[in-house]
Structure 1
Amino acid sequence: MLFSFFKKRTSKQLYTIAFYNLENLFDAQDNKFTLDNDFTPNGFKKWTTKKYKRKLSGLAKTILKIGHSTNRYPPVLIGVAEAENKFVLQDLLNTSPLNDINYSFIHYESPDERGIDTGLIYHQKYFKVLESNAIPLLVNNPDGIRDTTRDILYVRGLLNGENIHLFVNHWPSRREGAETTEYKRVTAAEVIKKKMKAIEVHEASPNYIVMGDFNDDPQSLSIQTLLEHSGLHNPMESLHIPNARGSASYRKAWNLFDQIMLSHSFYKYRKAKHSFDTANIFDHDFLKENKGKYKGNPFRTFAGKKYLGGYSDHFPVYIVLKYNK
């Protein structure tokens, strides 16, 4: 049983907060309202219940271990992307070893045409949800037709009694080209900043955690737009080494699309509050390809049509907060 992980903590109380792109966590059932045909037994990917359960097992074991070299306790908050629906998230939490932890989740169906959404998994002992909603991201393609992309998940809750505002993101992809689609991700940054301004009308110095797969690197215009005049800091910027380290790899170059940003309030010592301790990419060897020309890359579930049986094409990222007694 894993409940003992949370019974007693050391004098230095640490809390891990993570983000993980789950790489197409689809069940094997056909949803007639979304473009999920590839992830069915007769579809392009030949996706079966057996493969689905294997993926769930790998993801569950990974989530349990995120950040364990810094903090031996499992994460208390995990933002996720590319989850098909609430049922796959429930299946994930019902999978060993996560089924021994008092996790719950928040999820809203988004207009994404493929049916992939964001969600937030939270440990009910440490985080109490006060409110949540899906913030629409309204952007059009160059032809004027709306891009049915993912909503931004907003959650307000109490982490060990401290009020926290969280945003979980999966910004529009670069599929049609990074420069061509850049305006969509800049718009997403502006949507978050608009919500933050609305919060600040009623609350002085709010605590923000903005996480996600932003489909842009720390130095990209969209991320810099988000940081500008927002009071946010990106502790992951220094982790990105394009020729050596990131959370996802494309054509032998590393990207750090997966990031977690914090308000400056977490960089102050405040009694009975949380402060920033560390940030990192969870890129342990068991999550990597161990041979061939892609050695060291994330061990993904698929490479095109070919089933590899891995975890995800992204590494998780995480921060650790220290609770100041």
Structure 2
Amino acid sequence: MKKNPTLLFVFLMASLCSFSQKKGKQYNIRTVAFYNLENLFDTINDVTKNDEASPIMELKSNRSKVYWDKIDKLASVISKIGLDKAKTSPAIIGVAEVENLSVLEDLIASKHLVQKRYGIIHYDSPDKRGIDVALLYQERYFKPIHHEAINPNIYRNNRKVYTRDQLLVSGYLDNELIHIIVNHWPSKRGGTSSIPLREKAAYENTKIIAQIREKDADAKILTMGDFNDDPIESSLKKVLKTKEKKKNLKEGDLYNPYEEMFKRGLNTGAYRDNISLFDQILISSSLVDTGKKDYSTYKMFRAMIFNKRFMMQANGQYKGYPLRSFSNGGYTGGYSDHFPVYIYLIKEKI
């Protein structure tokens, strides 16, 4: 990675502490996160999917041991995201690259997460590899009232692209209604010819957001995921029309705090010599403090990348890159080929 965000993290922690002390005010702090779990497949062959091509199914031995080690490692990471200031793991976390409901049940039953009482929202998607998106939520903080899987209906050369659904979940974070879209857009496989696929996925997001705003023009919306595009690319900038600067936000705009991070050289993933920041959380203007310092309702305080040293390659050509689980047909003992991203939402306690 080009830059180490340690100083920024220290500044954030100090800022949050000052918020809780200023004029005796106290704040609720909730963490909302996203994590691509890198091929979290079980060891059972599903004849309806191409799960034989998953890294764990390609292993010649010790599949069960590898599976449970990966579950333990991923759960350990999730348990630490936002812990410093929220004093607990994420209230809400979107995940990608999961095979089915069963692997999610194993994940939340881990010793690292079982006491958090996570609920699961998951649908089987039509993805040919059999990978899905899902939402996990701590039941004491978030109460879902509606959820649905929406397929973006992408076609290429008049043939349907069997990609992941976009998961819409609406519910109450404490007593505030929010809407979350969890995404995993088509990959860059195919180079520039794949650009229209992600633009079409982004267009589906605009349709979902428009439907939400028909009922509530000032709705609080977060769209998160592995977009397989960096923050400056057309799917985000031209289709979703994301904004980099808070000062440029207008009502109804989407703010992307990860664009500025990308321009500073931060990343959530890498392939060979190219770093990327595909994992992002986009936030509607109604969740952004634009300078009024009004925290009577939940507002985003900071956006972060969870990239602790233990999750990184320690040496070699790819030092500082995510320490992935699988490489060259074997298990590395790592975590994921993506770093998680997260935001702090804060609200003044009454």
User: Quick one: which of 149, 171, 183 aligns to 1:134?
Assistant: 149
CA distance in 2, matches of 1:211, 1:238: 17
Residue 65 of structure 1 is matched in structure 2 by 80
Task: Please report how far the alpha carbon of residue 323 of structure 1 lies from its aligned counterpart in structure 2 after TM superposition.
Answer: 1.5
Alpha carbons 1:241, 1:254 under 8 Å: kept: no
CA contact (8 A) 2:66 2:331 kept: no
State the match for 2:253 in structure 1: 231
Q: How far has the Cα of 1:272 moved from its partner? A: 4.3
The aligned counterpart of 1:169 is 183
2:273 aligned with 1:252, yes or no? Answer: yes
Q: SS at the partner of 1:55?
A: helix
* SS class of match (2:215): coil
Q: 2-side partners of 1:188 and 1:74: how far apart?
A: 30
Q: What is the CA-CA distance between 1:74 and the residue it aligns to?
A: 1.2
C-alpha distance in structure 2 between counterparts of 1:259 and 1:204, whole Å: 23
Deviations along 1:47-66, whole A, 9 cap, x unmatched?
71110000000000000111
Q: Is the 8 A contact 1:89 1:105 kept in 2?
A: yes
Distance 1:252 1:67 in 2: 30
CA RMSD of aligned residues (A): 1.7
Task: Give the secondary structure class of the aligned counterpart of 1:201.
Answer: helix
Deviation at 1:270, TM superposition (A): 5.0
Q: Residue 51 of structure 2 corresponds to which residue in structure 1?
A: 36
Cα distance, 1:281 vs structure 2: 0.6
Q: State the secondary structure of the residue aligned to 1:227.
A: coil
Residue of structure 2 equivalent to 1:286: 310
Q: Deviation of residue 45 (structure 1)?
A: 3.2
Higher mean C-alpha deviation, range 207-216 or range 250-259: 250-259
Change (3 A) 1:132 1:96: same
For 2:214, the aligned partner's letter is: V
Cα distance between partner residues in 2 of 1:234 and 1:208: 12
Q: What is the alpha-carbon distance in structure 2 between the residues aligned to residue 76 and residue 62 of structure 1?
A: 14
| Unaligned residue ranges in structure 2 (runs of 5+) | 1-19, 21-25, 243-249
Conserved 8 A contact 2:55-2:330: no
Query: Contact 1:104–1:123 (CA<8 Å) still a contact in 2?
Result: yes
Greater helix content: 2
Cα distance change, pair 39–183 in 1 and its aligned pair in 2 (3 A)? closer
TM-superposition CA deviations, 1:115-154 (whole Å, max 9, x none): 1000000010010000000011111223x22110000000
Aligned pair 1:106/2:121, yes or no?
A: yes
Verify: 1:75 aligned to 2:86, yes or no: no
1:303 and 2:324 matched: no
2:342 aligned with 1:318, yes or no?
yes
Q: Work out whether residues 185 and 227 of structure 2, in 8 Å CA contact, stay in contact via their aligned partners in 1.
A: yes
Residue among 94, 117, 125 paired with 2:140: 125
The whole-number CA distance in structure 1 between the counterparts of 2:241 and 2:32 is: 20
* Distance of 1:110 and 1:187 partners within structure 2: 17
| Residue number among 291, 294, 301 corresponding to 1:277 in the alignment | 301
Aligned partners of 2:34 and 2:340 also within 8 Å? yes
Q: Deviations over 1:140-173 (max 9, x none)?
A: 223x221100000000000011010110000001
2:159 paired with 1:145: yes
Aligned partner of 2:309: which letter? Answer: D
Contact 2:295 2:346 in 1 (8 A): no
Structure 1, 44-53 or 20-29: larger mean CA deviation: 44-53
Determine the C-alpha separation between the residues in 2 that align with 1:220 and 1:192. Answer: 16
Using the TM superposition, give the Cα deviation of residue 196 of structure 1 relative to its aligned residue in structure 2, in angstroms: 1.5
Q: Tell me, yes or no, if structure 1 residue 184 matches structure 2 residue 197.
A: yes
Q: TM-score, normalised by structure 2?
A: 0.85
Q: Which amino acid aligns with 2:174?
A: N
Aligned partner of 1:4 in structure 2 is none
Which residue, out of 283, 290, 300, partners 1:262?
283
In the alignment of these two chains, the number of paired residues is 312
Q: SS at 1:110's partner residue?
A: coil
Amino-acid identity (%): 40
SS, match of residue 183 in structure 1: helix
Within 2, Cα distance between the matches of 1:236 and 1:245? 9
Query: TM-score when scaled to structure 1?
Result: 0.91
The amino acid of 1:184's aligned partner reads L
Alignment-mate amino acid for residue 237 of structure 1: E
Mapped pair 1:215 → 2:237: no
Mapped to 2, the partners of 1:196 and 1:266 lie a distance apart of 14
Distance 1:304 1:189 in 2: 32
Equivalent residue letter for 2:276: N
Amino acid at match of 2:32: I
**What's the secondary structure of 1:279's corresponding residue?**
strand
Query: What is the rounded CA distance, in whole Å, between the counterparts of 2:257 and 2:263 in structure 1?
Result: 14
